[in-house]
Structures are given as structure tokens and as C-alpha cells.
Chains A and B, each alone.
Chain A
Amino acid sequence: MTVPLGAYIAVSAVLFFTGCAGVLVRRNAVVILMCVELMLNAANLALVAFSRKYGSIDERGSVFVIFVFVIAAAEVAVGLAIILSAYRNRPVVDVDEIHQMKG
């Protein structure tokens, strides 16, 4: 009796919506970035699990996971740069306070 695919997908869905709730509810820009990372990681789990179940021999699902890694790294680097440069103008990280991009 191994673990069914549905269990992996359930964990993935729960983590995804935990991150989704965090993005919608939390107001700290850095925490929002963390929650986006959680959502991306949940999607990775679903991709790998489906790749195991339905994938052919050439691991295409896992290839997409590698591209998600690349996107996640780029996103967090640029996101933090934006947060820091906005913070330098006005020392707040609350996204309700940062409502205009004018310098």
C-alpha cells in the first residue's frame, strides 16, 4: 500500500491555498513574497506527482519544475529589490501604505 496520488495533490492544494490566503491577508511585502514562494512550491509538488503518475519516461513534468525554480529565484530577487528601493523612499513595508509608484 503506497501513498496514493490524491494525497500528494491534497497536500499541494492545501499548501497552495495557505499561501493564497497569506498573499491576500498579510500586509507585509516580505511576507507576501514568502507566501508566493509557498504557492510556487505547492505547484511544484503537483507537477512532480503528476509526472510520476502520468509522465512518460523522459521526466517532462520535472523539467517544468526546474523552470519554476528559475522563475522563483528571479522573482524573489527582483521582488526584494523593488521592496528595498520602495523602502528607501519611504520606510514602510506595509503594502496598504505603498499605494503609489511615483518617486
Chain B
Amino acid sequence: MTFDFVEPVVFAVLSIGVIAGGVAVVMLNRITAAALLMAFTFLSMAGMFVLLGAETIAAFQVLIYVGAITVLILYGVMFTKFSTSPRALFFQKQTPLAAVFVAAVAVPIVIVATLSFTGAPPRPGGGDLPALATSVFTDFAFPFEIASVLLLAAMVGAIVLTKRDDQEEAAARRRR
């Protein structure tokens, strides 16, 4: 193929986007910026799905992660006050233990994962939607229904958890 160099270059750019975004989410003290960079990470990840030939998954990624989840998280950020002191970021009693744990688990796995799988993923013949839809609505029809019940339960649960009863509502109004 003539354009063999395009795919590695696109992959490199996207992986830099994914990893830089992820690191920024962990490191940044400004939470609104962190949430937007999380959306950026998700978008780069959608690009990776396209590169892998999973266009439908990429579309869902943009709709659900970049659309819904980022907006929900931003609401969470804006409803809560958060401390901007440096203490909130890194230097606290969990830090050394967390660093040791992550390094001990992460380094071997990254090395093994990188060295083990050297073959190229095969190029898909076409879009992945027909195969995906067939799987979901035949073999995975029952888990699909369970997932919809789970979403309903989560929705009702979120409403119940955040709903104030009338007394609380009146007290909050008096405070204002």
C-alpha cells in the first residue's frame, strides 16, 4: 500500500492525545480544565476506535462519553465547591504508597503487553455495525435487556438520591 505510513502517524498522534489527556486529568488542579481534557482524551480514543475499524463503537464513544458523561461530570464540578490548595493535589499520606503500588503493577504489565502482541490487527472488510447488531440482538439479547433494566435502576436511583424532601426544601429556601 502507498499510504502505509499514514496509519502509524495517526496512531502516534492519537496515543499522545490519549496519554497526555489522561495524565493532565490526574495532574491538573483546575477541575473544570481536567473535565474538558477528559473529553479530549475520550475524543482521541474515538479516533483510535476508528483506526481499529470499529466505527460504531467510535460513534457510541462520542455520543456517550464525550456527550453525556462529560456533561454529567461538568455538572458535578459546578455543583460542588472544591479546594484549590496544593494539598488537594499530590502531597498527602497516600502518595508514596500509591506510587509504589502503581509502579509495581503497571511497569511489568506495560512491558509484557508491549512485547507479547507484535502482530498487526487485521484490516476489517467493512463497517462493524451489522455484525455488532446481530450479536447484540441474538446471542446477547438477554444481557441487553438486563443492561436496560440496570440503566432504569440507575436513573431512578440518581433521582431518589438527589431529591430533597419537602422539609429540606423549605429549610433551604429559608436559608436563601
Contact = CB atoms under 8 A, between A and B. Distances in A.
Contacts of B60: 65-66, 69
A25 interface: yes
B48 A18 contact: no
Interface string A20-47: 1110111111110111011001001100
Nearest to B48: A45
B25 A91 contact: no
Contact of B26 (A1, A5, A26, A67): A26
Contact of B64 (A13, A62, A73, A85): A73
Contact of A78 (B45, B105, B143, B154): B154
B170 interface: no
Interface size class on chain A is 35 or more
B57 A62 contact: yes
Contacts of A12: 113
A27 B92 CA distance: 9
A70 interface: yes
A38 B117 contact: no
Given A24-B98, A30-B80, A57 B131 contact: yes
Given A13-B106, A69-B60, A52 B158 contact: no
B31 A6 contact: no
Nearest to A80: B76
A64 B162 CA distance: 30
B69 A82 contact: no
Interface of B: 4-5, 7-8, 11, 15, 18-19, 22-23, 25-26, 31, 34-35, 38, 41-42, 45, 48-49, 51-54, 56-57, 60-61, 64-65, 68-69, 72-73, 75-77, 79-83, 88-90, 92, 94-95, 97-99, 101-102, 105-106, 109-110, 113-124, 128, 131-132, 134-136, 139-140, 143, 147, 150-151, 153-155, 157-159, 161-162, 164
Given A4-B117, A52-B124, 16 more contacts: A9-B116, A13-B109, A13-B110, A14-B19, A14-B22, A19-B26, A25-B90, A34-B38, A65-B57, A66-B136, A69-B60, A69-B61, A76-B69, A76-B73, A77-B155, A84-B162
